[in-house]
Amino acid sequence: MMTAAKKGFERLYEIIKKLRSETGCAWDRKQTPRSLLPNLIEEAYELVEAVDNGDDPHIKEELGDLFLLVTMISYIKEQENAFHMDDIFDAISEKLIRRHPHVFGENTLDDPDHIIRQWNEIKRDVEGRDKTEYITDSIPSTLPPLERSFKIQKKVSEYGFDWEHVREVIAKLHEEIEELEAEIEKPKDKLNKKKIESELGDILFAAVNIARFLKIDPGIALHSTNTKFIQRFRYIQDQLKKAGVPLSGDQMAMMEKFWNESKEFFP
């Protein structure tokens, strides 16, 4: 199995070298790690969707696309003499061994929560990570806002700044909704868009906190909901088309009827 995997990677590596060569592809030669980032993010989300759907052929395809992009970026850095492909594999192998002393060393741990704590302690005490002035400094500002909220909350939670029960977080969400309602119910001449934006941000932050408490990734949860909404709205369009009725706000009663029907097919 290892031989087949090695041969498969070597073939991919040689193809990428050819694409990046003078006799290769002009588009591939033009790429940089930064230019490939949108593709990397897009393919990662497509893999999420495939895994969520349990679609193994699609999972295989999307994993291939990710391997392509990761290997392409790695080879570009190799061309720049920044590091070699072997350095990447050596570094991640050493990191995995170092952060799993309960597997590769003498420690014995079976509890997942203890393993996570040990992982973070090794990052901080052995590797010298997170040694910034503020503990939140280690969270990249370039992360998408939803993912950054999740990381911020996880980070401060590690230092004991947290709620005791998810009920408290849900209560906080209700409190933030009430504050938003109070803002948008003010007379028009008193409306403050910046304040409304702030209250809406508080609602989203609280919702992310609920997801964290329930051990659910909010980005994946929202991705699934987006997919579900699209499926349900496609159902509405299909039913309106069969009925010979245009898609329009004038048909709201019919759209609501078909929306409720769609829940049976796309729960």
State the pLDDT confidence band at 105, using cuts at 50, 70 and 90.
Answer: confident
What would you report as the CA-atom Rg of the chain, rounded to the nearest whole angstrom?
24
Residue type at 129 in one-letter notation: R
State the pLDDT confidence band at 98, using cuts at 50, 70 and 90.
Answer: confident
pLDDT > 80? residue 2: no
Q: Are 109 and 102 in contact (CB under 8 A)?
A: yes
Written as one string, the DSSP assignment of 115-148 is HHHHHHHIIIIIS-TT-SSSGGGGS-TTS-HHHH
pLDDT tens for residues 172-219?
999 999 999 999 999 988 899 999 999 999 999 999 999 999 999 998
87 Cβ neighbours under 8 A, 6+ residues apart: none
